[in-house]
Amino acid sequence: MPASPIFDIDKLDMGHIVADHAQIYSVLPHRYEFERLTAILHCDDELMVGYHDLGHDEFWVKGHIPGRPLFPGVMMIETAAQLVSYAALIQSKDRGGFLGFAAVDGVKFRGSVLPGQRLVMMAKMVEFRPRRCIADTQGFVDGKMVFEGRITGMWL
């Protein structure tokens, strides 16, 4: 059974963008095919919500899986990690550096994400320390949870 949503999805205002694509990638170092976030809808010390609009021409569509393209699970994890990294970097803007993966735990894929869909990603910071941060993350498409897992980031 999936966990309860981190953030009440019915209370999300999809038109209230707190950081657009350009603002996100002025903070995150990812580029080109690895720019996984379209916008951030909410970001405070504890909760973050953002989304990625999946295009029909993304690099993975042709080969994963031909005739039935599915957003790879590893890319869902990457999207969640970028949301957590954005929040951590905003909270630690004087620190500098890079927040890389240290662990991914308890990941469950509960549904498919297809080209043309919007993947709404939510995260709740569980621990924020000088050497690492840990966040519970969840992904939703059309209000249905398709992904959940715990992301640990470490400053590199």
Backbone angles phi, psi at 2, to 5 degrees: -70, 155
| Percentages (nearest 5) of helix, strand, coil residues in the chain | 20, 35, 45
Instruction: Mark whether 64 is an active-site residue.
Output: yes
CA dihedral sign of residues 21, 12, 115, 34 = positive
Catalytic site residue from 16, 21, 56, 64: 64
Distance, CA of 153 to CA of 137 (rounded, Å): 13
Query: What tokens appear for 85 in the block?
Result: 């990294």
Query: What tokens appear for 24 in the block?
Result: 């996100």
- The catalytic site residues sit at 64
